[in-house]
């Protein structure tokens, strides 16, 4: 992957994930309106971080938790 594309992709993900800084996970939510279940993290302020396979939302994904 060309360096410029990698930097743009990094900037995109940092910008998107930074929206979660300072928020608190309230509960796990599920939406299966389109048939396939999507899971998300609902924050105490109502924000939902959906776990998807890509930015376009083409399917559910996996969130790896490290402790």
> Residue 3: pLDDT band by 50, 70, 90 thresholds?
low
Determine the Cα–Cα distance for residues 42 and 49; give it in Å rounded to an integer: 7
Q: Rounded to two decimals, what is the model's pTM? A: 0.78
> Residue 55: pLDDT band by 50, 70, 90 thresholds?
confident
pLDDT per residue over 11-36, tens digit each? 999 999 999 999 999 999 999 887 88
**35: exposed, middle or buried (C-beta count within 10 Å: 0-12, 13-18, 19+)?**
exposed
pLDDT value, residue 6: 82
44-67 average pLDDT score: 91
């Amino acid at each position: 992957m060309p360096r410029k594309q990698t930097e743009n992709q990094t900037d995109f993900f940092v910008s998107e994930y930074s929206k979660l800084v300072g928020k608190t996970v309230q509960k796990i939510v599920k939406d299966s309106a389109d048939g396939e279940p999507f899971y998300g993290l609902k924050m105490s302020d109502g924000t939902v971080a959906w776990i998807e396979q890509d930015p376009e939302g083409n399917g559910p994904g996996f969130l790896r938790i490290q402790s």
